[in-house]
Amino acid sequence: MDEPLLDVRDLSMSWPSAERPVLRNVSLRVRSGEFVAILGANGSGKTTFLKCIVRLVTPESGSILVAGQQMAGLTGAGLQRARRNVALISQSANLVKRRSVVANVATGSLGRRPEWWTSAGALPQSELELASRYLQTVGLEHLGTQRAATLSGGQAQRVAIARALAQQPQVLLADEPVANLDPEAADDLLRLLRRLAREDGLAVCCVLHQPDLAIAYADRVVGFSDGSVAFDAVSSAVSQAMVDSLYRSEPAA
Amino acid sequence: MSGVARLRPRLLACAGAGAFLAVLVQAAFVTGARPQDLLTGVHGMADILHRSFPPNLSLWSQAFRPTLETLDTALLGTVAGVVFAVPFAVLAARNTTPSPVLYALARGSIALFRAVPDLVWALLFVSAVGLGAFPGVLALSVHSIGMLGRLFAEVIEDIDMGPVEALSLTGAGRIAVFTHAVVPGVAPSLLGIALYRLDENIRASIVLGFVGAGGIGFQLLSAMNLFQYRDVSFYLIVNFALVIAVERASAALRKRVL
């Protein structure tokens, strides 16, 4: 069987002021081509889990392997290099609103192109051409020259995905990417994430708040409850009772 | 609510108004403000106006170079101020500074450059490098670093950190993140502020001429010292035209970039 592209083991994490740990021995493996959805109530640790993987926060213990590269414990230039293999899409698209759509996408390549002229603010023509291709992948090639400020929420999220693709990662993480989208745009976006997993072989791990969407689009659904994994099952095996159990057990105050 | 409690806000307001009035009275006393002097000085003012008319338009060829000097002093001073204010601002903004020590040093330097008036900087630089427009350029640059550094730092601190975080997570280096996520967001605001500064520096560079830093201000002072009021009125018209022209140009440019 394939080695997982994302292999997290026994991850634990506490906020300094909190009484209870936000993550407790969480383990999760995602293979190439797999689309995994994470469900859970607010405060169950889903977002912190993704932030630990990209090392926006530092876990207390545990191992985080991304494409075979250990992320836990890395700092400085080592962490900067390792981050190129994993892309994170947030609830907000976080585009540079005054730049064109294609330039926003091309900035995804900055980690791969650390030359002095890219640091000075230039974007290589080859990366701009590649960015146009990624825009085509997300169905927005016609908007390349438009300013990012003019995009709708759904379009901005697609551009954020194209920027993540320009990074050429092996693991794609998404934190509630459909939270601000209407149902049709949400369906389109999740269909796109599933296609990227299946056709491009990415390992996709997506936090969602809509159980029906998670079951409809993901290969596996992982339930988080109070900082630990309550269940990890193929989508077809996820029952209403399993989903309900996640939202009944709010973390103790 | 009791009567005393109802009266309390009014009493406080009256006390505040009384205190403010007392401050104004002491200010008038300290500055020796005597409104009656305006009335007794009317004749003097009328005499000056009479002697200023008509403006000595024959000076236009002599005014060209000092006017250009004033304009260039402001332009060079502003550009140098902007160039040096940007790194100071990056170090003085909480969200972009690499270390608390550099933050404190940058904030301290900016405060010092700003606290010393440009006229004092000009006196210092005239002593250091001699008379002429160059000390004016240096004075405006240093003072502009102080003024712009603070405003630029505030603009940088107000940026949306989402794109910064997003680009950091692509594995991009700090400088690339700054040029691609911070600069495009703040550049129009910084340019707008810099154009305002150019406006102010035009007016300042006229005044700097009074302390020997060249330009139209120096001509104006010389004419006043020689009681050549027709020359004074001509130079005032040139000043007015210069200030208005730069104001209009910078307003038009700001409209384009913002």
Residues A11-49 have pLDDT tens digits of 999 988 888 899 999 999 999 999 999 999 998 999 999
* Residue A253, pLDDT above cutoff 80: no
- Average pLDDT of the residues in B69-87: 95
**B162 touching A, CB under 8 A?**
yes
* Residue B255: per-residue pLDDT: 82
- Cβ atoms within 10 A of the Cβ of A3, count? 11
Q: Which positions ≥6 away from A82 have C-beta within 8 Å?
A: A66, A69, A71, A74, B171
> How far apart are alpha carbons A6 and A12 in whole angstroms?
16
Global confidence as pTM: 0.77
* Residue B254: per-residue pLDDT: 81
**A48 touching B, CB under 8 A?**
no
* Residue B190: per-residue pLDDT: 92
* Residue B4, pLDDT above cutoff 90: no
Angle between helical axes of B183-208 and B229-257 (0-180°, round to 10) = 180
**Dihedral angle of Cα B51, B54, B56, B58, to the nearest 10 degrees:** -150
* Chain B residue with minimum CA distance to A54: B169
**A56 touching B, CB under 8 A?**
yes
Interface test with B, best of A55, A84, A105, A107 (most B CBs within 10 A): A107
Interface test with B, best of A105, A110, A128, A180 (most B CBs within 10 A): A110
Residue A112: band (very low, low, confident or very high) from pLDDT cuts 50, 70, 90 = confident
Percent of chain A with pLDDT over 90: 74
* Residue A142: per-residue pLDDT: 94
**Count of residues for chain A?**
253
**A180 touching B, CB under 8 A?**
no
User: Are residues B162 and A90, on separate chains, in Cβ contact within 8 Å?
Assistant: yes
Query: Which residues on chain A are in Cβ contact (under 8 Å) with B163?
Result: 94-96
User: Are residues A121 and B177, on separate chains, in Cβ contact within 8 Å?
Assistant: no
Q: Which positions ≥6 away from A43 have C-beta within 8 Å?
A: A22, A250, A251
- Average pLDDT of the residues in B30-41: 87
Residue A179: band (very low, low, confident or very high) from pLDDT cuts 50, 70, 90 = confident
* Residue A249, pLDDT above cutoff 60: no
Interface test with A, best of B155, B161, B170 (most A CBs within 10 A): B170
User: Are residues A112 and B171, on separate chains, in Cβ contact within 8 Å?
Assistant: yes
**A91 touching B, CB under 8 A?**
no
pLDDT in tens, B137-195: 999 999 999 999 999 999 999 998 999 999 999 999 889 999 999 998 899 889 999 99
Distance between alpha carbon B88 and the CA centroid of its chain, in Å?
18
Ranges A81-90, A152-161, A240-249: which has the least confidence: A240-249
Q: Distance, in angstroms, between A245 CA and closest chain B CA?
A: 33
Q: Distance, in angstroms, between A42 CA and closest chain B CA?
A: 21
> How far apart are alpha carbons A244 and A175 in whole angstroms?
21
Only one residue has tokens 């236009």, namely: B60
* Residue A9: per-residue pLDDT: 95
Q: Which positions ≥6 away from B253 have C-beta within 8 Å?
A: B191, B195
Q: For residue A121, give the nearest of B168, B171, B179 by CB distance.
A: B179
